[in-house]
Amino acid sequence: MATQEEKQLNLLQAPDSPFTYLRRDPEKSFLYQTIRDNWLTFQAEAERSGRELPFYVIREFEEFLKCGVLAHGFVRLKCEKCKHEKLVAFSCKKRGFCPSCAGRKQAMTGAFLASHVFPPWVSVRQWVISFPVPLRYWQAANPKLMNAVLGIVTRAISGFYRNGAASRGDQGGQTGSVTLVQRFGDALRLNVHYHQIWIEGVFVKPKDKNRPSYRWTPSPTDKDVMDMLATIRTRVVRLLVRRGYLKSDETPTGEATDNFESDEPLLASVMAASTQGMIATGERAGQRVRKVGSFGIAGETPVLTGPLCASVGGFSLHANTFIGWGQPEKLEKLCRYISRPPVASDRLYRTKDGDIGYMLKSQWNDGTYAVKFSPMEFIEKLVALIPQPRIHLTRYYGVLAPHHAWRAEIVPAVKTGEVLPVSGEELQKPKCSARQRMSWSELLKRVFHFDLATCPDCGGTVKFIAAVMKRDVVVKILDHLNLPSAIPEWAPARGPPCLTFDF
């Protein structure tokens, strides 16, 4: 007999089938239990070493342990017809590692970019740029350096499209892109790299026309990608030498060029170890992350250059993902992929010895199919993935930028799924409207194909009643409905040598 989880999976795979919303139970997830049982111990170890974590990191973990728990408050929804009620717990709304909140942001970003940013009549191409290991850490620790490196990459790709348009007689063309900064790799490593979605072409505004026109440009070739990567590498190395990160012979200076390491020594060591696949704290400090399925610790594996993909000196540029015009579903799928959460909770598992295993998305060349952490090491990896506050991880450039003079005539002001007609190369469209945030029920309907605003029993309209946050009222309602009303307790800090799970 199929389990409830298997039934849900079967319904999710059939978009047209009716689906009844079932609240997730975060307290039962392996990720939640791992953090609940070990977070205070990790904090205590950090304080014992004399190096404290910054406030925003502590806040991220504390709010995650409240996310989705009814005992911390909820919203009441009620069907106007049959009076059936639902309780929806509050979320933490953080952008670190919470799978639920990051998944909602993923769906919202994909829907917004595909429907309200990229015009449906243009083609787009994804450019992915990654960097050598030291530069990953330097960018994570220094937002100003990250901005400078991103500017170099953006100008290089923009110049390719503008030069391509100029070679066809379209002078002064303007293009646009959206960049999503990813801070994570496949094995929970800190890996700052950029996913850029570029309009495959430029917009020009002839003197005899009031509206900009879209012009296709030639697609990049393998040589174009290799030349562009060489340009990016040369400019980035020059920047690092100028700012003191590298010597003139392109070797690291070994000196701190900012105050991050002195201000946050623990976080700096955790982030530096994460970029290298190392452990920074605990009994295995200074050792490499343990691999499952590999024959010892392998060195760097050779990188093969594929179609429209090149690599040199630790830099890698990939430009083989292309989506033609009139394919909003594929565009949204791409946008959702590049804005995905850093942690996939379904790939976590507990090993026989009580450690935490994390399955890789694809097997490495040396045979590794998973990595293994102790509970303290796992929390250390999550700490490194939390972005600093007031750092934008989504960037708009060119005609897609908020203050560009042509944006109102290019960015679509259409509803989801609506495609505007195009007459020749001239854009026929109304002025764009202000961005409207998608509601939670709209996101659920878009992603999981069920409508929370419609009662599954009678088909009536579900309306918001109240937000319940007072502790005594929360307990009274949950007890009446036979739901857990006690706030989950966090495991107290354990002193050495009891730093692992006690079975």
**Residues 237-250: tens digit of each pLDDT:** 899 989 888 877 66
Tokens at 468, concatenated: 């319940």
| Model pLDDT for residues 212-231, shown as the tens digit of each residue | 889 888 899 999 999 999 89
Per-residue model confidence (pLDDT) at position 373: 93
Other CB atoms closer than 10 Å to residue 253's CB: what's the count? 12
Q: Which parts of 243-357 fold into alpha helices (H)?
A: 260-263, 265-275, 328-338
Coil, strand or helix at 152: helix
Q: Where are the alpha helices (DSSP H) in 255-388?
A: 260-263, 265-275, 328-338, 375-385
- The mean-pLDDT minimum among 2-6, 40-44, 180-184, 432-436 falls in 2-6
Lowest-confidence pick of 24-38, 49-63, 108-122, 277-291? 277-291
**Residue of higher predicted confidence among 1 and 114:** 114
Q: Are 369 and 151 in contact (CB under 8 A)?
A: no
Say whether pLDDT at 385 is over 80: yes
DSSP label at residue 346: G
pLDDT at 496: 66
Q: What share of the chain is helix, strand, coil (3-state, %, to 5)?
A: 35, 20, 45
**Would you say 488 and 27 are in contact if contact means Cβ atoms under 8 Å apart?**
yes
Sign of torsion over alpha carbons 90, 180, 409, 201 = negative
Higher pLDDT, 496 or 142: 142
Q: What is the mean pLDDT of residues 102-122?
A: 88
The per-residue pLDDT for 440 is: 67
CA dihedral in degrees (431, 434, 436, 437; nearest 10)?
A: 130
Cβ-Cβ contacts under 8 Å for 325 (sequence gap 6 or more):
120, 121, 122, 123
Q: What pLDDT band is residue 355 in, cutting at 50, 70 and 90?
A: very high
As a whole number of angstroms, the distance between CA 266 and CA 244 comes to 23
Q: How confident is the model at residue 458 (pLDDT cuts 50, 70, 90)?
A: confident
Q: Which percentage of the chain shows pLDDT scores above 90?
A: 39
Looking at residue 206, the DSSP 8-state letter turns out to be: -
- DSSP per residue over 388-448, as a string? PTT--SEEEEETTSTT-TTHHHHS----TT-----BTTB---PPPPPP-PPPHHHHHHHHH
Q: Give per-residue burial for 169-191: e unless 16+ CB within 10 Å, then b.
A: ebeebbbbbbbbbbbbbebbbbb
Q: Phi and psi of 495, rounded to 5°? A: -90, 165
Q: Is 126 helix (H, G, I), strand (E, B) or coil?
A: strand
The lowest-confidence range among 250-254, 279-283, 370-374, 494-498 is 494-498
Look over the chain and give the mean of its residue pLDDT values, rounded to a whole number.
81
Q: Are strands 124-130 and 190-199 parallel, antiparallel or unpaired?
A: antiparallel
The 10s digit of each residue's pLDDT in 290-319 is 656 433 333 333 345 688 999 888 889 999
Mapping DSSP to helix (H, G, I), strand (E, B) and coil, where does residue 461 land? Answer: strand
Position 95 scores a pLDDT of: 87
Beta strand segments in 190-243, E: 190-199, 202-204, 213-215
Task: Give the integer Cα–Cα distance in Å for 397 and 364.
Answer: 35
Res 18: pLDDT: 39
CA atoms lying within 13 Å on the CB side of residue 406: 21
Rounded to whole angstroms, how far apart are CA atoms 484 and 69?
A: 9
The side-by-side arrangement of strands in the sheet containing 309-312 is 309-312, 315-323, 124-130, 190-199, 176-184, 394-398
Dihedral in degrees, nearest 10, Cα atoms 369, 320, 422, 171 = 140
366 pLDDT exceeds 90? no
Q: Can you say how many angstroms the Cα of residue 401 is from the centroid of all Cα atoms in its chain?
A: 20
Q: Does residue 421 register a pLDDT over 50?
A: no
Residues in CB range of 164: below 8 A, 6 or more apart:
202, 217, 218
Three-state secondary-structure class, residue 125: strand
pLDDT of residue 151 exceeding 50: yes
Residue 257 pLDDT > 80, yes or no?
no
Residue bearing the bigger pLDDT, 151 or 91: 151
Strand order, beta sheet including 356-359: 290-292, 370-373, 356-359, 348-350
